[in-house]
């Protein structure tokens, strides 16, 4: 079996499948697919990353479902420092996360959020599923590869960068995000046990020409958050 690694520079991710077969005197020959997922190199920071999976070992073949219940302070009624400025704003909702073809297939996030000020709001996965001090203790944007902040469709971004959601005049945002960089399976890009955070302001997608912009998109305070947890 020969696995040829492709050089990838212009696109974010490549998935491909190599057919391989295993045989031994005691086992009859079995064909297995080897899934190879490639992440591009970043000049001066890291070389290409390859993730290799062989089915059926190492990952479930069925969909993975998770949910995040979004509440001010993450639902923690006693904690919260930064969030105290959001008194009177009652943001809430539930998000369902589904990865139909783990570990390399896209993750879809759907659900409704209500109680938002109308307009765009930064929408990210933050590093920690910790709400002991409200959404403040969720840490910064989930950024396992230590790169600058950007938008969801940029080639180099935090794994947690999902751009903005748009709230209408009634304060309701219909979330329907599809993203191929996240996974609900284990590994460095897994967002299970981390937190979804909704911000006060629009995320400038790293284009604000300030230090805050390239760190977090200048999207202001954290209106609400919820921990991403398995539901199957
Ligand atoms: Cu955020
Ligand atoms: Zn970010």
Which ligand sits closest to the CA of 213? 2
> For residue 8, is pLDDT > 70?
no
Q: How far is the CA of 53 from the centre of ligand 2 (A)?
A: 28
Q: How far is the CA of 227 from the centre of ligand 2 (A)?
A: 17
pLDDT of 11: 41
Stretch 126-135: mean pLDDT: 95
Same domain? For 47 and 68 the reply is no
CATH number where 170 lies: 2.60.40.200
Neighbours of 34 (CB within 10 A): 15
Q: How far is the CA of 25 from the centre of ligand 1 (A)?
A: 54
Residue positions annotated with a catalytic role: 124, 126, 141, 149, 158, 161, 199, 222
Which ligand sits closest to the CA of 160? 2
Q: How far is the CA of 36 from the centre of ligand 1 (A)?
A: 30
Report the alpha-carbon distance of residue 66 to residue 70 in Å, rounded. 13
Are the CB atoms for 164 and 121 separated by under 8 Å? yes
> For residue 9, is pLDDT > 50?
no
Which residues surround the ion ligand 1 when the cut-off is CB under 5 Å?
A: 124, 197
Report the alpha-carbon distance of residue 223 to residue 168 in Å, rounded. 16
Same domain? For 77 and 116 the reply is yes
For residue 51, list its beta bridge partners.
37
Split into its structural domains, the chain has a count of 2
Tell me which of 29, 54, 79 is where a domain ends: 54
User: Long-range contacts: 34-40, Cβ < 8 Å, 24+?
Assistant: 34/1, 34/3, 35/103, 35/104, 36/3, 36/5, 37/13, 37/103, 37/104, 38/5, 38/6, 38/8, 38/13, 38/14, 39/8, 39/12, 39/13, 39/145, 40/8, 40/9, 40/11, 40/12, 40/13, 40/155
**What's the pTM value of the predicted model, to 2 decimals?**
0.79
To the nearest whole percent, how much of the chain has pLDDT over 70?
Answer: 78
CA torsion sign for 69, 174, 149, 133 is negative
Same domain? For 7 and 81 the reply is no
Residue that wins the pLDDT comparison between 19 and 127: 127
Tell me which of 28, 54, 80 is where a domain ends: 54
Domain limits for position 34: 2-54
Same domain? For 158 and 73 the reply is yes
Q: How far is the CA of 184 from the centre of ligand 1 (A)?
A: 19
Q: How far is the CA of 126 from the centre of ligand 1 (A)?
A: 6
Q: What is the pLDDT of residues 10-60, one digit of tens each?
A: 345 556 666 655 555 555 556 667 778 888 888 888 888 888 877 655 555
How many Cα neighbours within 13 Å face the side chain of 19?
Answer: 3
Q: What is the pLDDT of residues 70-90, one digit of tens each?
A: 999 888 877 656 554 555 678
Same domain? For 148 and 177 the reply is yes
Weakest mean pLDDT among 1-10, 131-140, 220-229: 1-10
Listed in sequence order, the residues at least 6 apart from 180 whose beta carbon sits closer than 8 Å to its beta carbon are: 12, 13, 105, 106, 107
pLDDT of 203: 98
In a domain, 59, yes or no: no
Which ligand sits closest to the CA of 206? 2
Same domain? For 74 and 137 the reply is yes
Which ligand sits closest to the CA of 125? 1
Are the CB atoms for 82 and 74 separated by under 8 Å? no
């Amino acid at each position: 079996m020969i696995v040829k690694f492709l050089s990838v520079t212009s696109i974010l991710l490549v998935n491909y499948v190599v057919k391989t077969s295993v045989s031994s005197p005691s086992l009859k020959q079995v064909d297995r697919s080897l899934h190879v997922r490639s992440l591009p190199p970043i000049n001066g920071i890291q070389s290409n990353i390859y993730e290799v999976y062989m089915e059926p070992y190492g990952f479930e073949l069925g969909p993975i479902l998770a949910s995040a219940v979004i509440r001010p302070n993450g639902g923690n009624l006693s904690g919260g420092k930064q969030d105290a400025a959001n008194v009177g704003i009652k943001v809430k909702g539930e998000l369902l996360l589904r990865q139909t073809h783990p570990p390399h297939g896209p993750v879809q996030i759907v659900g409704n959020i209500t109680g938002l000020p109308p307009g765009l709001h930064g929408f990210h996965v933050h590093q920690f599923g910790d709400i002991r001090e409200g959404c403040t203790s969720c840490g910064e944007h989930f950024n396992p590869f230590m790169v600058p902040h950007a938008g969801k469709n940029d080639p180099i971004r935090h794994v947690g960068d999902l751009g903005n959601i748009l709230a209408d005049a009634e304060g309701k945002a219909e979330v329907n995000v599809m993203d191929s960089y996240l996974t609900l399976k284990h590994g460095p890009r897994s967002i299970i046990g981390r937190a979804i955070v909704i911000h006060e302001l629009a995320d400038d997608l790293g284009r604000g020409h300030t230090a805050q912009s390239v760190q977090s998109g200048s999207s202001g305070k954290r209106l609400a958050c919820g921990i991403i947890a398995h539901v199957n």
